[in-house]
Chain A
Amino acid sequence: MPQRRHLVASAIVVLLLALLALLPLAGSRYAVDLATEVLIYALFALSLNVIIGFTGNISFGHAAYFAIGGYACAILLTTYNWPLLFALPAAVVLAGLVAAVVGYFCVRLTQIYFAMLTLAFAMLVWGVAFKWKAVTGGDDGFTGIKLPAMLAHYIGFFYFTLAVVSVGTAALWVICHSAFGLTLVAVRENAVRAGFIGVDTRRMRWAAFTVAGTFGGLAGALFGMYHRGMYIENAFWTESANVLIMVLLGGIYSFVGPIFGAAALHLLQTFTNQYTPYWPTVLGLILLVIVMVLPEGLIGLAARLKARRGKP
């Protein structure tokens, strides 16, 4: 009964949003900050999954667009004193434009070659952030971002993030479930056949790359404002690897998977770091378990449990 499923899904989304909106009432700044971070990473991971889950290519350089969005928004707000209403969209558009240019070259290749080319372009972005000290602050980072008074308080910023991430997620949902998104899945599953029925596969992958970069830039802009600074580490390949793990942890074949992956990874890392400096070991063991036992990620595990419960 697809209609009933639809209803249940909508109810869960509304409930989740309501719970999040009520979170500041709990009075814990720590919880609100943590939720803000998770929301930002969730959007970042969702954007990457447009490339991975919907075209089947792995990008090793998604941090580039995160960094471009973050730096551009920070610089427009602070150096040029633009109002947020213009700075944020401009930063997002810039990230999307760069993704369009880079994507144009990357989608000519597939598999590991595609991944390495995205990495190469991302390292160029990192190089520019590192060397263009006058504008980006170089390896000192770009700090002291000016925020509108409304967002200066952590609760205000949390609601702002919640609103932006919700709108961004909704937009991505619509894009991924449109005819375009379904065509992407067809390209992923069988590019040759998709080509036979008249799909311009390269162009589809290019569009997906641009969409991913645009929303990655949005996440980056939020990240920079939240931390009041952007640092070159945010453009480094380790950041790309981090978000890649979030996506893979959550599961690539479902739209919401990356959200859970981002939440699980970020919360786990935060809690683990309170008790032990050996977070890499914990993450390494988690990855081993995923690879050896549950290759479909957390969402796959949930689906499997549900299927088992369904049987008498």
Chain B
Amino acid sequence: MSVTEWRVPSHEIASMTLTMFTLNAFYGLALAMNMFIIASGLNLIFGVLRVINFAHGMFYMFGAYITFTVAKSWGAPFFVGVLAAAAALGLIAFAIERLLLRHLYDKEHLMQLLFTFALVLLMSDAAKMIWGTDQYSVGYPPGMGGAIDLGFVVLPQYQLFLCAIGPLIAVAMWLLVDRTRWGRVVRAATQDREMLAALGVNVPMVYAAVFTIGSALAGVGGALAAPRIALVPGMDATIINECFIIVIIGGLGNMWGSFLGALAFGFVVQFGTVLAPNWQDVLPYLLMLVVLLIRPWGLLGRPEAGH
């Protein structure tokens, strides 16, 4: 080691670390917000329908691929692609719920699990038939490919956009579920479905709407992730595990819990990649392990009845 390397002025080291820290925290936040959009859909569906939807990752992948087709192949603006992904996934989910899933609510959880796993298998082959096995990429939308210079750190615009849209969706969902009449009906459906039906509420349509909205969120999450990542077959599998981790860490059925879980996930993955390279695949699981051992029902979760 040469002498000059030892002579880096301490304030320069400090500013380096501050830059690196801010940049990594920022990337972690952007990742967290993107993951929150996807995981919140999974969480909403579980909270109301009590169905653990393994196909959620597949909905995410379809969202990303549909955005690619609309924005890249057809040349439409990126945000038209995002809307198309949301609409397409909403429609697919609505059809699945009305035709098949609604017959399974009274059966064992195991059956619902197997059903959503069957969807994963069928949709993975469908994706291969439609899009093949090539790798695709969707560029940053025009006007968002640049970066903003804050003096000590340069932040990319698209990630800034993700950091803004995540909290927006969180607040919108909170308003929808906690502050509207429809939201009250949804919350009532989690408590006592028969009572709600007796009061004249069309509970099956509430369920269909929740499954549709939750799945559309997966589509939006996939569409918004598309410029950040490479689109490859199998991208659904990692995401579904990561969504489970986020939802479990936060506490099943708790929207703000998922928000918190996504933040923890984003920071752990981003800083883990820097501090312990090559371990990033295991770190989220380690995070979940620690949380579950300390708080068995997640950060904001409550023990289920009967425990």
Contacts and interface: CB of A to CB of B under 8 A. Distances in A.
Interface of A: 58, 105, 108-113, 116-117, 119-121, 123-124, 126-127, 130-131, 192, 237-238, 241, 245, 248, 252, 278, 280-281, 283-285, 287-288, 290-292, 295
23 contacts: A58-B113, A111-B304, A112-B248, A113-B292, A116-B248, A119-B241, A119-B244, A120-B245, A124-B289, A126-B282, A127-B279, A131-B278, A238-B237, A245-B114, A280-B122, A281-B122, A281-B125, A284-B121, A284-B122, A287-B114, A287-B118, A288-B122, A292-B103
B8 interface: no
Contacts of A121: 289
Contacts of A290: 114
Contacts of A280: 121-122, 124-125
A278 B289 contact: no
A252 to B, nearest CB: 8
B107 A295 contact: yes
A74 B8 CA distance: 50
Interface of B: 52, 100, 103-104, 107-111, 113-115, 117-122, 124-125, 237, 241, 244-245, 248, 252, 278-279, 281-282, 285-286, 288-289, 292-293, 296-297, 304, 306-307
B252 A112 contact: yes
Given A113-B296, A116-B244, A284-B119, A248 B282 contact: no
A287 B285 contact: no
Given A241-B117, A288-B115, A288-B118, A278 B286 contact: no
Contacts of A291: 104, 107, 111, 114-115, 118
Contacts of A117: 288-289, 292
Nearest to A52: B110
A120 B249 CA distance: 12
B121 A131 contact: no
B292 A285 contact: no
A contact patch SS: helix
A140 to B, nearest CB: 15
Nearest to A278: B125
Contact of B111 (A105, A111, A241, A295): A295
B253 to A, nearest CB: 11
Contacts of A127: 279, 281-282, 285
B307 A110 contact: yes
B288 A116 contact: yes
Contacts of B304: 111
A117 B117 CA distance: 19
Contacts of B281: 123, 127, 130
Nearest to B118: A287
Contacts of B252: 112
Contacts of A120: 245, 285-286, 288-289, 292
A111 B296 CA distance: 12
Given A113-B292, A283-B118, A291-B104, 13 more contacts: A116-B292, A117-B288, A119-B285, A252-B110, A278-B125, A280-B124, A281-B121, A283-B121, A287-B121, A288-B100, A288-B118, A288-B122, A291-B114
Contacts of B297: 113
B6 to A, nearest CB: 32
Contacts of B118: 283-285, 287-288, 291
B134 to A, nearest CB: 16
Closest A-B pairs by Cβ, 9 of them: A284-B121, A127-B282, A287-B118, A284-B122, A123-B285, A280-B121, A281-B125, A120-B289, A284-B118
B287 to A, nearest CB: 9
A109 B292 CA distance: 9
